Amino acid sequence: MAPPDLDRKSALFLDLDGTLLEIAATPELVVVPPALPGVLAHLHHQLDGAVAIVSGRPLGQIDGLLAPFLASAAGEHGVSIRYSDGTLEELPVGVAVPDTWREALNEAVERWPGVRVETKPHGVAVHYRLAPEREAEVWQLVRALVLPDHPWFRLIPAREAVEIGLRAASKGHAVERFMGHAPFHGRKPIFIGDDYTDEAGMSMARRFGGVGLRVAEVFGGDPAQVRAWLTHGMERMDGRPPAAPTCVTP
């Protein structure tokens, strides 16, 4: 499947890790190609602001990684949403993973070298990429903490990780909220993502007459190809002949 051409009526919804950026051993070790913030900023101008980053990371981390680029964004899989005018929305307000759960996870990983806990404002993720042999034990622990019928929280599978997140939020919800506001309203959404949490965003983009693109299927599982497609789209909308299909210059 070939990705569609970008045009000035598009709206871009972009996951971060595994989509714009290569997955790293730990979240803080990701590398942002120096050209990427500029490409995103240029696309943001071309699309009249209709570019949003929709990530499992908190908003502060999104902004820090992509600085100086700053735009609409949804953090923690849609728990926190920032609109183009800077308005912040949190759903549901004031709910976060209990401290007792965080303590139980931190105590467990002390016995599991290579497993790490990533604390977020509302949720918490447990990464076992550096200790894949601990996968079963990690899942056994989080399932004991979060029962399937828990009213507030759910388990969110990720790539060699599992997250305890808010049941009410999803990337699909974030796309729906953005599409109801300028500058996204009335545009054709394109959602690009790489894992389970992105499926809801892709599905919602299709509901609004757009497309959902899986990195594995459309871009060979390679974030460099996603960046290259964005660069070609930017150049095409500028009326410049696109360069040969290579990665954005790191």
Phi and psi for 108 in degrees, rounded to 5?
-65, -45
Q: Which helix (H) or strand (E) holds 164?
A: strand 161-166
Burial class (CB in 10 A: 0-12, 13-18, 19+), 148: exposed
Pair of tokens at residue 141: 């622990």
Query: Per the residue annotation, which of 15, 194, 195, 198 is the catalytic one?
Result: 15
Catalytic site includes residue 195: no
Cα-to-chain-centroid distance, residue 146? 23
Q: What letter does residue 90 receive in the DSSP assignment?
A: E
Q: CA dist 232 to 19, 37, 124, 209, Å?
A: 16, 15, 36, 23
Cα 3 from Cα 212, distance rounded (Å): 10
Which sequence positions are flagged as catalytic? 15
